[in-house]
Structure 1
């Protein structure tokens, strides 16, 4: 949780205006950053309070002094008020103990054994006790039971020589053993003698209840005051750390030692004094309520404190969440209700919009979501699936069913009518129900039981374990901030020339994508360049160029290693194991392709954006903290794992497959506690399910014979083409398809077909065509929806809430970048693939 949120969550609501203004101080830091790195116009009203030539440290110290004075003044007043109340309470507790010592009991006592009147039952005692509480004016029915229990259990261990008073019989109830007139006379006479004593005891008992409430209230307030000190001190420390980091100063240690630690609220003796008064309250509670049991007193008071804090926090967040939900409901109603455009939309009793339609048999009200474009698309896709399922297109029924399944899944993936991973989960279900699997030995359709084993075996392969290993390395590098250290170190050497800064950011994004996937890399890079973006003028072309450059470079980086993106893992699973490239061969092919593509895209961005005009770049500072032992451990294990992957073919007799090597970092990082089960749960399991579903679909298409049939039909049409001609045709086709749908989905649908076409050529080169195809999947970046890096980039907003990029920027720069990358793949990449023997 960010500290700006944490301070709102933990603050005492009544004291909210007396805490450190953390958010305002952060804004001041960003304003000071601008004064340091660029000329501010004199007419800028927001920056007028800042003196342009004044030292930022002086300005910030002045603002901190104001906050420190505000906090100290409030604390002094509040501490004096609470201490006075505590001292008064302690005096009352002392008086109460004296009275309790004289009377021996804090509860209305029952008769002693020497009295002839029988002891009243427990029910009657509780009734009398309840009446006493009511007479005292206590209406808090929820707390009465707890308070009375604590008090009545308090002084039960009195010595036998203390006088015990009897409860008057007529105040309890009439007893059944009062038939003798002499007993009745004695009883009435005794009641009149002890009535005054009983009234005195009742007052004493009620005083104990009130004292308990006062102790709890003051205990909670003193604990809140102690938390007030700790929270504000943390606020000063964090905001000074941010100032030092952004302005590049060393102010934190000096200011904390000179001013904060010496202020009244933050002195050690102040905290010790609060703790002493808290301990006094514990002892008072122990004396009044728990009969000397200090452990029970501490436990009870902490329980009351916890309940108070939980209630207070729930109240705050309930209000915030209520506001958010009301805003969402208003926007949902505005979007779905559409009163201005469709007067037939109504609201149901539960607030959900409905639409009234008229039919020959009457009027019906149906939910609006039934008429949404998503539902209509889904119904259309299911209709197409049913038509293809029952209208004969193929000779064999298993191929007919598999074709219908392939079309259904492809349309669902392309339109995203339902989530992609949900579509993947339907694949094994339909494969079993439609019986699309065949026995490779007998060529007969497998029954449901054997088909189930086949489809789930296809879903969990070494490829999935390789994907998990890649996610583990990425999580460890990110959690230990190794990726950020490397990125900031490289960018700090880039200087302040716009063109140099642009290519440096693109190179960092590509390398980060290669190591930690092209999903996490753009998020990391956008966070690093945030200070630079803040200091660039609004609408700066440099902002657009660097954000677009990071997005396009992350797409290129998605092809630079087998674990950089899911489609690469899918391609390795499709290739022939004997001819699949090792990590070394993969690097030999893609590194030249990536470097040349990045250089061409950089030239394109420089020409189209011209980012050097009037641009002042804020240099990025590297992380100066020394490398820790954990960071060294993660780095060494990562390098060893990558080295083993590179030599996987040579070590095949030991490990068998790269998926087995992937187990090494998983066991080590989770075993020693660097990664936890929360990190494991945070893995992108939707991508893993998507890849597993795609592998099962490829197995089904191959097992049913559909892939062979389609391949033969395509091979007949391209048999006169050369290998290079087929490469260009399929590369262009994949580039177009992957531009409009997910890169991983495009690989899942097309690469199995490409593999079979390459396998059916006179000179078979299936792995070469698959390798080129998967590179083209990553090269598709012509639209904002073409890959996660593009989607992250177009959502990036400036401080005013305006997007840096629009769709036109991706079409005008992304489409040419895709074409340039395809040219590099079919030239330089093709040559490198032939050299490696693919």
Structure 2
């Protein structure tokens, strides 16, 4: 019966919403087009939570439904009342289709090319080998080194790929621990925790970051370097806290640990091209204000170089995480519909948020996002909440002294990445749990504490940055 509910509910509820008269909704002035957006939004939310179909497939369905029901080139049956006051404004079909090639998608595509080239030419493994040497043989310091390297890699590579690589390096080391040595839990747990935290550090570190950039207005636009200016210190502080926490809860009994990673830097022309392009791209991202190119333009440089030189060939292209790109594009399309039809503003204006303290609104939004992110995809969570938070941020005058929409969006973005309490919360968590060394309750104990501390930290850091801007 439960299996059938997963399939029936996501279809039935949106269908009921479509068939209800406008007077049945507690919002004045709701148009036919806005009613259709509500139905599509609920379909997306239910499909992303219940997962009757893959989450990337939900995104494709969103875009197709918007083209059919909301666009100026949709089915004639759904456009026959066009021009009447109660009907509302239709979306331009090319705007909906453009979500597949949004600048955000190009930014992620550039990140995928860099990560794939780094893995193919063993740049990641060799960097890990070199960077871990200074951390000695004491388990707690080796663990800190692992967390630091994992977090750095996660800023520029897929969190999942980074976790898979680091856990494979750790597999023979974890096997050396005694059966009842808590160090085994600590080492298996530290990698996904560091990967989840590290993704916050850059706009390409995790999809919620890129989605957030889409909803930050031109006046408050954040460059790649500016994001890292507050993202990296946040990651560093939270990483140290996570290290202390894991060491405290699961201290290793073993006195010494040897971490041997075999390999050497390749010196072929293609490998050298990868090293130079990787370094140059990151440098250009960090120096955005001096050369005039934005991060989206820079992201396509490695795509062009690696394609031109054959470093990434057509077989490699098949391995790109197209599902992530489709998932993000579906979220952008959903946000477009909520924004352009005026539904997000209508819903936000119908609730007197200005009557509440801005701190209550910020805390409520962060807690809601953190809870959702623990039980569903971080990207799906950001896709659902971000357009509503953007509309709320621009409409709440009481938020202006705290930084306005940008504060609300960043708090929610950080909260989305901090949902790491369960094996299902993130792919890195699932990979760590699959090793058999970490139980769900052990993961939850660490994940809940880091999530709450991380959200509180995001409030403090964003408040401090706002203060600095006004000095």
TM-score with structure 2 length normalisation? 0.90
Aligned to 1:148: none
Alignment correspondent of 1:592? 233
Alignment deviations for residues 234-280 of structure 1 (CA, whole Å, 9 cap, x no partner): xxxxxxxxxxxxxxxxxxxxxxxxxxxxxxxxxxxxxxxxxxxxxxx
Report how far residue 834 of structure 1 moved: 4.8
What SS class does the counterpart of residue 219 from structure 2 fall into? Answer: coil
Alpha-carbon spacing, 1:498–1:575, altered in 2? closer, same or farther (3 Å):
same
Residue number among 449, 464, 467 corresponding to 1:831 in the alignment: 464
Deviations 1:327-378 (A, max 9, x none): xxxxxxxxxxxxxxxxxxxxxxxxxxxxxxxxxxxxxxxxxxxx5x333221
Decide whether the 8 Å contact of 2:63 with 2:97 is kept in 1.
yes
Of 55, 64, 70, the residue aligned with 1:435 is 70
1:517 aligns with 2:146: no
Residues 623-642 of structure 1 show CA distances to partners (whole Å, capped at 9, x for unaligned) of: 34564443332122122212
In the alignment, what sits opposite 2:372?
737
1:810 matched to 2:446: no
Residues of 2 paired with 1:421 and 1:625: CA distance? Answer: 36
Q: Go from structure 1 to structure 2 and tell me whether the alpha carbon gap of 1:446 and 1:760 turns closer, same or farther (over 3 Å shift).
A: closer
Among 311, 325, 328, the alignment partner of 1:674 is: 311
Task: Assess if the C-alpha contact under 8 Å between 2:47 and 2:53 holds in 1.
Answer: yes
Cα drift, residue 661 of structure 1: 1.9
Contact 2:224-2:295 at 8 Å conserved across structures = no
Is the counterpart of residue 561 in structure 1 residue 202 in structure 2? yes
Q: CA 1:753/1:407 → structure 2, altered by over 3 Å: closer, same or farther?
A: same
Counterpart secondary structure, 2:257 = coil
Alignment-derived partner of residue 548 in structure 1:
189
Task: Find the counterpart in structure 2 of residue 794 from structure 1.
Answer: 433
Q: 1:769 aligns with which of 393, 408, 422?
A: 408
Q: 2:353 aligns with which of 694, 717, 742?
A: 717
Corresponding position of 1:31: none
Cα distance in 2 for partners of 1:614, 1:644 equals 44
Aligned with 1:580 (options 221, 234, 250)? 221
User: 2:468 & 2:245 partners in 1: Cα distance?
Assistant: 30
Residues 547 and 793 in structure 1, CA contact (< 8 A), matched pair in contact too:
yes
Q: 678, 682, 688: which one pairs with 2:325?
A: 688
The aligned counterpart of 1:821 is 454
Structure 2 residue 140 is matched with structure 1 residue 499: yes
Distance 1:660 1:807, change over 3 A: same
For the residue of structure 1 that corresponds to 2:260, the secondary structure is coil
Q: Structure 2 matches for 1:109-258, cutoff 5 A?
A: none
CA distance in 2, matches of 1:597, 1:514: 14
Q: 8 Å contact 1:468–1:662 — kept in the other structure?
A: yes
Structure with bigger RCO (C-alpha 8 Å, 6+ apart): 2
Distance 1:788 1:829 in 2: 28
Match for residue 271 of structure 2 among 631, 635, 656: 631
The aligned counterpart of 1:377 is 6
Corresponding residue number in structure 2 for 1:413: 48
Relative to 1, partners in 2 of residues 1:649 and 1:446: Cα closer, same or farther, differing over 3 Å? Answer: farther
Q: Distance in 1 between matches of 2:267 and 2:363?
A: 47
> Does the 8 Å contact 1:542/1:615 carry over to 2?
no
Number of residue pairs aligned between Structure 1 and Structure 2: 451
For residues 633-668 of structure 1, what are the alpha-carbon distances to aligned partners after superposition, in whole Å with 9 as ceiling and x for unaligned? 21221222122222334544xx4x432222111010
Q: How does 1:298-697 map to 2 (within 5 A)?
A: 373-392=2-21, 393=25, 395-435=30-70, 445=88, 451-611=92-252, 613-621=253-261, 623-625=263-265, 627-652=267-292, 655=293, 657-697=294-334
Distance 1:834 1:730 in 2: 22
Contact kept, 8 Å, 2:31 with 2:87, in 1: the verdict is: no
Q: Note if contact 1:739-1:781 (Cα within 8 Å) is conserved in structure 2.
A: yes
CA distance in 2, matches of 1:641, 1:475: 14
Q: In terms of mean alpha carbon deviation, does 690-699 or 619-628 score higher?
A: 619-628
Q: Deviations over 1:40-83 (max 9, x none)?
A: xxxxxxxxxxxxxxxxxxxxxxxxxxxxxxxxxxxxxxxxxxxx
In 2, are the aligned partners of 1:536 and 1:616 still within 8 Å (CA)?
Answer: no
8 Å contact kept, 1:539–1:804 = no
For 1:597 and 1:495, the matched residues in 2 are separated by 23
Within 5 Å, give how 1:57-72 maps onto structure 2. Answer: none
Q: Offset at 1:713? A: 2.7
> CA separation in 2, counterparts of 1:470 and 1:624?
24
Which region of structure 1 is more displaced relative to structure 2, 751-760 or 455-464?
455-464
The answer to whether the 8 Å contact 2:33/2:70 transfers is: yes
CA distance in 2, matches of 1:468, 1:443: 41
Contact 2:281–2:298 (8 Å) recurs in 1:
yes
Given the two structures, how large is their TM-score scaled by the length of structure 1?
Answer: 0.52
Structure 2: runs of 5+ lacking an equivalent: 73-78
Q: Does the residue aligned with 2:387 lie in a helix, a strand or coil?
A: helix
Residue 445 of structure 1, CA deviation: 4.4
- Compared with structure 1, are the counterparts of its residues 615 and 374 closer, same or farther at alpha carbon in structure 2 (3 Å cutoff)? farther
Determine if contact 1:507/1:553 at 8 Å carries over to the other structure. Answer: yes
Query: Residue by residue, what CA displacement relative to the aligned partner does 1:207-230 show, whole Å, maximum 9, x if unpaired?
Result: xxxxxxxxxxxxxxxxxxxxxxxx
Alpha-carbon distance in structure 2 between the residues aligned to 1:829 and 1:540:
39
Q: Which residue of 2 aligns with 1:110?
A: none
3-state DSSP of counterpart to 1:538: coil
| Matches of 1:782 and 1:587, distance apart in 2 | 25
For 1:379 and 1:640, locate their aligned partners in 2 and report how far apart those are by CA, in whole Å: 51
CA contact (8 A) 1:784 1:810 kept: yes
CA spacing shift, 1:475–1:641, aligned 2, 3 Å: same
- Provide the rounded CA distance (Å) in 1 between the counterparts of 2:200 and 2:107: 16
What is the root-mean-square deviation of aligned Cα atoms in Å? 2.3
Displaced runs of 4+ in structure 1, greater than 6 A? 436-440
* 1:724-748, Cα deviation, whole Å (9 max, x unpaired): 4432222122111111111101100
The separation in 2 between residues aligned to 1:608 and 1:617, in whole angstroms, is: 19
In 2, Cα distance between the equivalents of 1:468 and 1:406?
A: 26
Q: What whole-Å deviation, never above 9, does each CA across 1:2-47 have from its counterpart, x for those lacking one? A: xxxxxxxxxxxxxxxxxxxxxxxxxxxxxxxxxxxxxxxxxxxxxx
Structure with greater Cα Rg: 1
**In 2 relative to 1, CA 647–725 (structure 1 residues): closer, same or farther, beyond 3 Å?**
farther
